[in-house]
Amino acid sequence: MGKFFDNSKKLFENALQYVTVSEDAVKTLEHPKQIIQVSIPLRKLNGDLEIFTGYRVHHNDLLGPTKGGIRFLSTVDLDEVKSLAFLMTFKCAVVGIPFGGAKGGVVVNPKKLKRHEIEHLSRGYIRGIYDFIGPDVDIPAPDVYTNEMIMGWMADEYNKISRKLTPAVITGKPVSLGGSLGRDDATARGAYYVLRSLVKKKKLDPKKLTVAIQGYGNAGYHLAKLLHDDGYKIVGLSDSKGAIFTKKGNLDPDSVMRRKREAGKLEAVYCKGTVCDIIKHDRITNEQLLESDVDILVPAALENQITKKNAAKIKAKIILEVANGPTSHDADAILAKNKQIVIPDILANAGGVTVSYFEWLQNRSGDYWSLGAVHEKLEKIMLDAYGAVTKVQEELKIDMRTAAYVVSVRRLVSAINAKGTAEYFKT
């Protein structure tokens, strides 16, 4: 317990030498504001009663109501939810959206539940945390193993309890229930905009770049598609069971996804019409995928994948952190020493929460935007944030993660100081 949170804190503390920040501000930022733990009773379809544990953590609401996803995962614990809430605070600050950080999680393996049971669990979680969320308080969204349908059930449960339609309480809803166009691929698209800028700046040719993506969930799949459409060579893809790898770089994201949906597993196939043919490939482990000989590595699954143990074996020149917290503090130092570029999670995957912000705005105003407008606004926010981060990076000659923390800490500190500092009250 405590490892992930300590690690996240270290990444932030690393930036403190580059910002003028009072001890008060550090103390404020290192402590989650509120934590709730709930027990969710679920009557299973076989008649058994099972009690699931759920958490919601508000890390900090200095810049606005707290915001962050909910994951359904058997390994969830309080340390993880606290850490992810902590990351959300800095993520929202780095892209400059008016939210603080939060996160939620339920300790459950959703693959072991029937669809009805998942619906009841989702609704039960909302009944448990009802008083802890709200459009001006804390706004949940999807995360690992939760999706738009689950968000729709959750928003519906909230509305039933409050006897009011409050779509802005949850984002990532189906479009037909008040969701935003473009929320589905927003995390991937945000990462794609940042990567595209970096590739351009380094004068690299996408068609000559190989990419391996760990995790084929919402973010991993959409990113594979965007990169594939731009001519990048997708050489490796993985899910929780293992990876497929082909040196040729001819993995077709849509064929692989179609097959995964039909067969329930990742296979290197190329489909034309209704016929899917296997293409030549190797089956490797997730660990091997991370260490594979590629130009761009995209961890898009869970935290703590690149650690002290394997960091020196990572060959990719660019690491695009689409997952939250995939790289440990010790590993970061090794990657920096080897001059590998890490596009940090709090910047790389901020597209998801940015379009969640758009959804919240649209729900509150009743004015719904076109897909083109969403893309345009997302691109601007991502590129402004990337510009702010690279400016600090170049000025201070530091790595991109530290620079991203500097940008976000500056924004947070000015809000903390606006309420009065120790010096102010002592004079």
Catalytic residues: 103
Residue 348 CB, nearest approach to ligand GLU (Å):
10
Is 243:214 a contact under the CB 8 Å cutoff?
A: yes
Q: Among residues 80 and 291, whose Cβ is nearest to ligand GLU? A: 80
In eight-state DSSP terms, residue 384 is H
Query: Shortest Cβ distance from residue 128 to ligand GLU (Å)?
Result: 19
The answer to whether residues 80 and 26 touch, using CB atoms and an 8 Å cutoff, is: no
How far, in Å, CA of 362 to CA of 371, rounded?
13
Closer residue to ligand GLU, CB minimum distance, 24 or 77: 77
Residue 239 pairs with which residues in a beta bridge?
242
The Cα 342–Cα 236 span in angstroms is 19
Please report how close the Cβ of residue 70 comes to ligand GLU at its closest, in angstroms.
8
Task: Answer whether 92's CB lies under 8 Å from 351's CB.
Answer: no
Q: Smallest gap, in angstroms, from Cβ of residue 32 to ligand GLU?
A: 16
Least separation in angstroms between residue 147's CB and ligand GLU is 11
Residue appearing with tokens 């391996």: 212
Q: Using CA atoms, how far apart are residues 212 and 227, in angstroms rounded to an integer?
A: 11
Query: Least distance in Å: CB of 324 to ligand GLU?
Result: 5
To ligand GLU, the closest distance from the beta carbon of 315 in angstroms equals: 27
**Torsion angle in degrees (nearest 10) through CA of 165, 170, 171, 176:** -30
> What is the C-alpha separation between 170 and 158, in angstroms, rounded?
9
CA distance 175 to 275: 31
Query: Which residue number places its CB atom closest to ligand GLU?
Result: 69
Two structure tokens written together for 145: 């193993």
Map tokens 């699931």 to a residue: 52
In the bound state with ligand GLU, the residue whose beta carbon lies nearer, of 234 and 353, is 353
Q: Between 83 and 390, whose beta carbon lies closer to ligand GLU?
A: 83
Distance CA 215, CA 223 (A): 11
- What gap in Å lies between CA 139 and CA 178, rounded to an integer? 14
Binding site for ligand GLU (CB under 6 A): 67-69, 141, 143, 171-172, 324, 349, 352-353, 356
Whose tokens are 């402004």? That residue is 384
- The smaller minimum CB distance to ligand GLU, of residues 180 and 238, is found at 180
Sheet holding 66-73, edge to edge: 34-43, 49-60, 100-107, 66-73, 138-142
State which H helix or E strand residue 25 sits in: helix 23-30
Of the pair 292, 349, the CB lying nearest ligand GLU is at 349
Would you say 93 or 284 has its CB closer to ligand GLU? Answer: 93
